[in-house]
Amino acid sequence: MRWLLGISLFLYSAGAFACSVCGCDPAALTLGLDRPSTRSLRVAIEDRYLTKESGEGPDAEGERENRMVVRAQFAPARNFVAQIDVPFFLWRDHLNSAGFNDDTARGLGDVGVTARYELLRTGGFVPRHVLALVGGLKLPTGRNDRTIAGELDEHIQLGTGSWDPTLGLWYTFGDHPWTWYASGSVRLNTANSRNFRYGNVVSGLAGVRRAFFDERLLISLEAQARYAGYDRGDTGYDPDSGGFLTYATAGAAVGIGSNLMARLELQVPVVKDLHGVQSEHPVAFAGLSWDFAL
């Protein structure tokens, strides 16, 4: 049942800090907790739904989106795994200050590449202790030139237009049927061609996962904490962006047959100390993953 140890499950990242298009969400750095078996390929599809609002008066705006991610992971060696994420917005709505939908976008988002290298692995076939370095880079593949009424708006874009690296450190402790894990990571958001950049993100996570029924059911609980800086452009910073936010996250994964797994996850904001006026809501995820021996 090695494939069960490699589920793309409960991970690091920010839900929707400054703007959901920034890519900071639990679809990133999935390799921190789990990985496919050596010389095997995992293909997964994930769907995310979220809503949020920011600003007040004439500056108020809202976002609603449904984003699908196609993910592939390959493990050429025991201590190294590579991953690529290809996001596609099924729809991404922008709401104006009156609460009306004034823009809907669909299409490719920012592709991400990630690598995981195990610095420490002890405890045999199913390791008891694993310390892994996980790094990623978000590429500017999503459209970043969209306009409303002839004017560019950063919050209606499908991509940030920037190259954004992330670096994280993961530790897991396995004591079957329990797995305990923790991580810390930093995301550096660079400026796009209009000199706009989303705030950098520092995040931490601690969680526990329990296996049931011969590891065909996995239940997970997590606490996530993140801080993001202000978004900045040529005209200064956005006062309604960034801040501190914590999530309580619960998830479940079910094995179907010998190489298919389905999962559900829900993030609920708990403690909020966001800059300016911002409203965060629960974020829901659903996904399927398949493992193939090569």
pLDDT tens-digit map of 44-55: 999 999 999 999
pLDDT on residue 153: 86
Query: By the 8 A CB rule, do 286 and 264 touch?
Result: yes
Count Cβ atoms below 10 Å from residue 145 Cβ, excluding itself. 11
Q: How far is CA 173 from the centre of its chain?
A: 22
Distance from C-alpha of 17 to C-alpha of 12, rounded to nearest angstrom: 14
pLDDT exceeds 80 at position 28: no
pLDDT on residue 32: 59
31 band by pLDDT with thresholds 50, 70 and 90: low
What's the mean pLDDT in 81-99? 94
Q: Which residue ranges make up each domain of the chain?
A: 2-293
- Report percent pLDDT > 70 for the chain: 88
Query: By the 8 A CB rule, do 291 and 257 touch?
Result: no
pTM: 0.86
pLDDT on residue 35: 75
Enter the DSSP assignment of 155: G
pLDDT on residue 149: 82
> Token match 């800090």: residue?
17
What's the mean pLDDT in 51-65? 92
- How is residue 278 written in tokens? 């911002």
Q: Exposed, middle or buried by CB within 10 Å (0-12, 13-18, 19+), for 98? A: exposed
39 band by pLDDT with thresholds 50, 70 and 90: confident
Helix, strand, coil: what percent of the chain each, to 5?
5, 60, 35
Distance from C-alpha of 24 to C-alpha of 267, rounded to nearest angstrom: 13
147 band by pLDDT with thresholds 50, 70 and 90: very high
131 band by pLDDT with thresholds 50, 70 and 90: very high
Distance from C-alpha of 41 to C-alpha of 43, rounded to nearest angstrom: 7
Say which CATH class 2-293 falls into.
mainly beta
pLDDT exceeds 60 at position 189: yes
